[in-house]
């Protein structure tokens, strides 16, 4: 059997480490708690106090959160916490989920837990600080952060979405340097839908718009798969100097990317994108599918 040279093996292992999702730990390691979820152990951290993480970008960060509560509780409360990036950008996470009977804690066997909320942020190049801050210390929230590399996809083709039943699907034409590119425009609480099958990767390219006096903005949208919420996305972006909107004086942000990976078992799934924030400007989306 042929042997792989050591330097090549190291390179292969490095590439695999980049592609695989990795949990990242806060500096408060003593606040860990192991939850058994569908038979597999996962390390979460108790949000009894603030948690601080340091991340080497560029990365996509998934913030998984669950509320723990006494097992005999009949009415489950909503929960909130604050996320601060580099002590500058911030947003509030708000969730209200049902009990997930397939979650168990050996440390607190009398506790039950909700289904998981997944909030997603894009982290640029460099080392960045993420602080997660509880807003109600009477609630028992557990969080787990997963870091993923940005994907590169090939064999790209455009996906054409449709509007929701009560929505009209609008589009804007952006001039990006010397190209005209069509984006679909969503106001707050408006939705667009698309169908997709695997194995493939869906790339969602998003932007927001600015008034003339704005240079940096935050926008939020949710993604659902077959009517089930799978993630909430929080995007920060500066104004793009090389992009303008046709027939409009509004500024346009730099683009941000979101990925949905479909396996060969995912056949003709329906996806929904809903714009959540802000209320005074539109979110812009372009959808492509590749491998």
The CATH code of the domain at 22-148 is: 2.60.120
Q: Which residues pair with 210 in a beta bridge?
A: 251
The pLDDT, as a whole number, for residue 215 is 84
Q: CB count, 10 Å around CB of 171? A: 12
What is the four-CA torsion angle of 9, 10, 15, 16, rounded to 10 degrees? 70
Does pTM top 0.75 for this prediction?
yes
Domain boundaries for CATH 2.60.120 within the chain: 22-148, 157-290
Could you say which residues of the chain have pLDDT below 50?
Answer: 1-19
| Residue 264 contacts residue 199 (beta carbons within 8 Å) | yes
The pLDDT, as a whole number, for residue 14 is 38
Q: Which of 262, 261, 287, 263 is nearest to 273 (CA)?
A: 287
Q: Note the helical H segments in 26-127.
A: none
Instruction: Let me know if domain 157-290 sits in CATH 2.60.120.
Output: yes
The model's pLDDT over 179-200, given as tens digits with 9 standing for 90+, comes to: 999 999 999 999 999 999 999 9
| Residue 183 contacts residue 286 (beta carbons within 8 Å) | yes
The pLDDT, as a whole number, for residue 166 is 62
The pLDDT, as a whole number, for residue 169 is 83
Distance separating alpha carbons of residues 166 and 149, to the nearest angstrom: 36
Q: CB count, 10 Å around CB of 80? A: 15
């Amino acid at each position: 059997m042929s042997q792989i040279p050591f330097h090549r093996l190291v390179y292969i292992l490095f590439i695999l480490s980049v592609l695989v999702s990795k949990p990242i730990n806060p500096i408060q390691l003593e606040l860990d708690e192991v939850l058994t979820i569908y038979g597999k152990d996962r390390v979460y951290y108790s949000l009894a106090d603030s948690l601080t993480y340091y991340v080497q970008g560029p990365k996509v960060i998934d913030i998984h959160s669950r509320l723990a509560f006494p097992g005999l509780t009949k009415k489950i409360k909503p929960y909130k916490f604050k996320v601060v990036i580099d002590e500058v950008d911030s947003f509030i996470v708000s969730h209200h989920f049902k009990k997930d009977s397939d979650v168990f804690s050996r440390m607190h066997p009398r506790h039950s837990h909700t289904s998981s909320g997944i909030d997603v942020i894009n982290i640029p190049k460099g080392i960045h600080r993420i602080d997660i801050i509880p807003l109600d210390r009477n609630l028992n929230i557990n969080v787990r952060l997963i870091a993923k590399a940005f994907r590169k996809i090939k064999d790209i083709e455009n996906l054409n979405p449709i509007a929701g039943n009560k929505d009209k699907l609008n589009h804007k034409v952006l001039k990006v340097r010397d190209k005209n590119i069509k984006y679909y425009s969503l106001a707050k609480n408006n939705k667009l839908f698309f169908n997709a099958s695997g194995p493939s990767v869906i790339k969602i390219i998003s932007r927001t718009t600015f008034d003339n006096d704005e240079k940096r903005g935050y926008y939020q949208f949710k993604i659902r798969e077959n009517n089930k919420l799978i993630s909430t996305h929080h995007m920060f972006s500066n104004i793009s100097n090389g992009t303008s909107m046709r027939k409009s004086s509004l500024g346009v942000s730099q683009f941000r990317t979101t990925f949905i990976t479909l396996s060969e078992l995912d056949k003709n799934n329906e996806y929904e994108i809903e714009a959540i924030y802000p209320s005074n400007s539109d979110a812009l989306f372009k959808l492509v599918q590749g491998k």
